[in-house]
Chains A and B, each alone.
Chain A
Amino acid sequence: MPKLLIVDDEPLVRRSLQKTLERKGFDVDTAEDCNSGLASFESAETGPQPYDLAILDLNMPCFDGRSEENAGLDLMKKLHLARPGLPVVFLTAYDAAGKAKTAVQKGAVGYWVKGREQGLPEFLRQVLESRNENDKELS
């Protein structure tokens, strides 16, 4: 079962998305900010099952604890330092093409706007499947 990490400071969003994705067959953990998100990720990296993919909010408490509109980008950078190639998907309320392009150009595999997240589980499945196919080809 693919293991996902959701990092979002909105409790109802976290819980609702967690339930939706669990129902779709994912194993889902959640964290509420950059620090706890990174801690969860690092802990899982040394455990039996690391995360296969991370879903990050963009605007949430950053590593210094202050709410920052691009905090998710900072967290993605640290996640990619820890494991290059980790698929990261942004799920944010920011409906902004510029932010979407920046996020993808910095390494995200997707940028979804809250309220238009229908189809996200299928997208995650596709990302993970194509990642698995690539891994097989490389091996």
Chain B
Amino acid sequence: MTDYKEASAERKAALLQAGAKVAAHITTMMDLPVLLQKAVDIICTEYGFDYAGIFLVDESGEWARLEAGYGDAGAAQVGESHRLEVGGESMIGMAIAERKARIALDVGEEAVHFRNPHLPETRSEMALPLVVGDGVLGALTVQSTEEAAFSQEDILSLQSMADQLAIAIFNAFSLAELKRTHTALLRARTYETLANATLQAIHWMGNKTMPISSTAARLKAEAEEGDLESKSLQEDIDLIAENARKINDVKETLVGPAIEHSLRPILVPDVVQAAAFHSGIPAEMISIESAPSTPFALSDSSQLARALSYLLKNAREAGAEHISANVTQTIDGQHVAIAIADDGPGISPEVREKMWTGFFTTKGPQHTGIGLTAVLAILSRMDGRITVDSEEGKGAVFTLVLPAAPDDEAVDLSHAPDHIFFVDEEGDDWANFAANVLQLAGKDVIVQGNPAGAAAADLILVDEALTTMTVEQVLADLKAAGIENKAVVVTAWLSTDRAAKYAHMGVRDVALKPYTYTGLSNFLNFEVKNAPTDGQV
């Protein structure tokens, strides 16, 4: 160890250099616990001290608690929640209370030194207050096993380092406090939103159920009195039916997003197309574009289609004449963005504030106002997010952002059936992908908008979003030819009702469209394995 008693210009320079190194390491650290531990470590390393520890004043202001200490002694004391009284007899306590550095050159003789069993060899100690402005955060202790290791002149350069340390601690503490405050605010806001939504839901339910119960009670009384009048009865029944329909709509809208999600790589434009198809959006009303090399999104295609369907129907109901869907990769390369832009009347700032809350609607009493709530629920379960950008009179753009799927690798498709018939539009993105991959694997593939000639195929894949004819027509043709059990209806949006209907029409399967090499391979493996034997339907 350097002889601190013989302070020289060289020694001062060395101390300043060490101080500069410590400052360079600690001033950029914003994580408080990491900063404190790194600070004591680097102070010991750069200055050559045997021990350093940082005490911070607790919330009561009465105690200074050891937050970080060097080596095993430091860890042991932190583990014991070592603390010293502010203003007490310890050097740390006094340095904090007096906002002044204290030095003990032979601590065995210094009355104010706390005899620490973890540091029995200490013979010199300096306690430096950590001061920021008018406040004192705590104190830094540095210790040496040599007697009279520090000079009074050292105080100046070490206090300068301690001042920088105090600022770094203050900044990290402020950031942590800011984060805590932000989290608390966010939590409060979330609770407030939930409470508002719950109140809205209670209010909404009350308004919808009251007419049912009161009308039913009145009908019962009128029936008992033999006083049922036909016109009034008709009106009452309509009233009950309408309110029951709205309650059922809420169930239908919310139960969908609650269904288990199964994430997989999906071709987003195909899902947008499926959403438009099932929402009854005419093909000429929507344009779908995808930037080259846009990755697959990691998503549940049925749930995403459901969310997109709400947005597309909203745009149409708001009066949009054209909708464009633009699919791109985000700048960070980690996500896929879907921008749904419409030329409708736009959304006012007041409505934008409230529209994510359940049961809020501007579309009149026929609507329940929970579509966007469902969209939010769907997106959040996919680790996605949604934002809206709109000006009144200039349409609206809803942007959905989803995680990008990892790249897929080509796989062996030799197990696939040799002759595969796609009932799909030529030029359809999904059919193109699947047909190209299968052709490269040496398979005989036909893509055609109708099933004529499909009898020779081993497997017939019918795209549910077909626009050249309905799936029902295709399946009727296949049934007439006696080959419906070769058919698999493939879809981006698997629905219970439609799955049951197609299954009852005798198809081999109703399945989600595979979008990747691996997905296609697994799909074909499954369908080959489950192929009916002769005579089995």
**A residues engaging B (CB < 8 A)?**
94-101, 103-105, 109-113, 115-116
B248 is an interface residue with CB less than 8 A from chain A? yes
List the A side residues contacting B510 at CB < 8 Å: 97, 101
**Across the two chains, which residue of chain A brings its CB closest to B255?**
A95
List the A side residues contacting B386 at CB < 8 Å: none
List the B side residues contacting A105 at CB < 8 Å: 503
Q: Which of A95, A96, A104 contacts B504 (CB 8 A)?
A: A104
CB distance from B214 to the nearest CB of A (A): 19
A97 touches B252 (CB 8 A): no
B252 touches A116 (CB 8 A): yes
A95 touches B256 (CB 8 A): yes
B440 is an interface residue with CB less than 8 A from chain A? no
B109 is an interface residue with CB less than 8 A from chain A? no
B255 touches A101 (CB 8 A): no
Interface string of B442-461 (1 = CB under 8 A from A): 00000000000000000000
B497 is an interface residue with CB less than 8 A from chain A? yes
CB distance from A54 to the nearest CB of B (A): 16
List the B side residues contacting A100 at CB < 8 Å: 496-497, 499-500, 503
CA distance A60 to B293 in the complex (A): 50
- Given contacts A100-B499, A112-B500, 20 further A-B pairs with CB under 8 A are A95-B496, A96-B496, A97-B302, A97-B495, A97-B496, A97-B499, A97-B500, A99-B496, A100-B496, A100-B500, A101-B509, A101-B510, A103-B500, A109-B504, A111-B496, A111-B497, A112-B497, A113-B496, A113-B497, A115-B251
Contact sample, A vs B, 23 pairs, CB 8 Å cutoff = A94-B496, A95-B256, A95-B496, A97-B496, A97-B498, A97-B500, A97-B510, A98-B499, A99-B496, A100-B499, A100-B500, A100-B503, A101-B499, A101-B503, A101-B509, A103-B500, A104-B503, A105-B503, A111-B500, A112-B497, A112-B500, A113-B496, A113-B497
User: Among A97, A100, A111, A112, which residue has the most Cβ atoms of chain B within 10 A?
Assistant: A97
User: Among B259, B494, B497, B498, which residue has the most Cβ atoms of chain A within 10 A?
Assistant: B497
CB distance from A70 to the nearest CB of B (A): 15
**Across the two chains, which residue of chain A brings its CB closest to B260?**
A96
**Across the two chains, which residue of chain A brings its CB closest to B249?**
A115
Interface of B is mostly: helix
**Across the two chains, which residue of chain A brings its CB closest to B498?**
A97
List the A side residues contacting B497 at CB < 8 Å: 100, 111-113, 116
List the A side residues contacting B495 at CB < 8 Å: 97
Interface size on B, residues (CB 8 A): 18
List the B side residues contacting A95 at CB < 8 Å: 255-256, 259, 496
CB distance from B382 to the nearest CB of A (A): 18
CA distance A98 to B496 in the complex (A): 7
List the B side residues contacting A104 at CB < 8 Å: 500, 503-504
CA distance A100 to B248 in the complex (A): 20
Interface string of B222-258 (1 = CB under 8 A from A): 0000000000000000000000000010011001100
Q: Which 5 A-B pairs have the closest CB atoms?
A: A111-B500, A104-B503, A100-B500, A97-B499, A97-B494
CB distance from B394 to the nearest CB of A (A): 38
List the A side residues contacting B252 at CB < 8 Å: 115-116
List the B side residues contacting A112 at CB < 8 Å: 497, 500
**Across the two chains, which residue of chain B brings its CB closest to A96?**
B496
CA distance A103 to B499 in the complex (A): 11
List the B side residues contacting A116 at CB < 8 Å: 252, 497
**Across the two chains, which residue of chain B brings its CB closest to A111?**
B500
CB distance from B144 to the nearest CB of A (A): 72
**Across the two chains, which residue of chain B brings its CB closest to A90?**
B500
Q: Which of B248, B498, B499, B500 contacts A115 (CB 8 A)?
A: B248
CA distance A56 to B52 in the complex (A): 76
List the B side residues contacting A97 at CB < 8 Å: 302, 494-496, 498-500, 510
**Across the two chains, which residue of chain B brings its CB closest to A104?**
B503
Interface string of B480-512 (1 = CB under 8 A from A): 000000000000001111111001100001100
List the B side residues contacting A111 at CB < 8 Å: 496-497, 500
CB distance from B523 to the nearest CB of A (A): 15
CB distance from B476 to the nearest CB of A (A): 14
List the B side residues contacting A113 at CB < 8 Å: 496-497
CB distance from B133 to the nearest CB of A (A): 62
CA distance A109 to B509 in the complex (A): 15
